[in-house]
Amino acid sequence: MANQKVKTVPLSKDRFREARKIRKMSLTSLSEKPGIERTEKTLRRWIRRGEIPPDLLDAIGKELNVDPKFISGELDRIAEGIEDDPVKLSTLKAQFHAADFPYVYKQKRELKPLQYIIDLLIDNDIPPEELEKLSRTELVKLYLELEKATRAIIFKYFTPHQSSLHNYSIPMPPDDEIIKL
């Protein structure tokens, strides 16, 4: 049976090395971690190619506690699209550090804020259809008030990751998602 073409995404060799370095993890020890399930030789082959299967990138990000977007070099490519001046670009990229991009950022991008609100309504015996009665402005206010109240309680018990580059909240869902309850 012929080898099937595996879907891959970019991998930044330098960013991957940096993420492993801050976690003090060799390729050998990384390959032996549950969830990685690849040999060191296979990992080296993906690194050499500068591309990697998305599921493996995610597993590595989770194991190293680094956002896969950092490891893939996507943040560098975004910076390259923003800044034309090579000196400023180099300065900008030098500010990116693996420790500032924990895996939780990837998890946060996957959150469904509208579903969170619906779950809270159901938990409080309020039919989700009640959301349809709110205007867009009221829905945004509800969301922001819930986030503020929830953060106060969460931060009472837990210390959030402190990053010098990121301090953002869960994005509001687009209008077309709000309409579909």
**Is the pLDDT score of 179 beyond 80?**
no
Report which of residues 162 and 113 the model is more confident about.
113
Question: What distance in Å separates the CA atoms of residue 40 and residue 103, rounded to the nearest whole number?
Answer: 22
CB-based burial, 148-164: b 16+ in 10 Å, e otherwise: eeeeeeeeeeeeeeeee
Q: How confident is the model at residue 164 (pLDDT cuts 50, 70, 90)?
A: very low
Rg, Å, the chain Cα set: 20
Please give the average per-residue pLDDT across 90-111, as a whole number: 90
Beta bridge partners of 52: 9
Residue 180: the pLDDT is 47
The domain limits of the chain are 9-105, 111-179
- Asked whether the predicted pLDDT for residue 166 surpasses 50, the reply is no
Strand partners, 10: 51
Indicate whether 173 pLDDT > 90: no
**Residues present in the chain in total:** 181
| Per CATH, domain 9-105 is 1.10.260 | yes
Over residues 3-12, the mean pLDDT reads: 89
- Asked if pLDDT for residue 99 goes beyond 50, the answer is yes
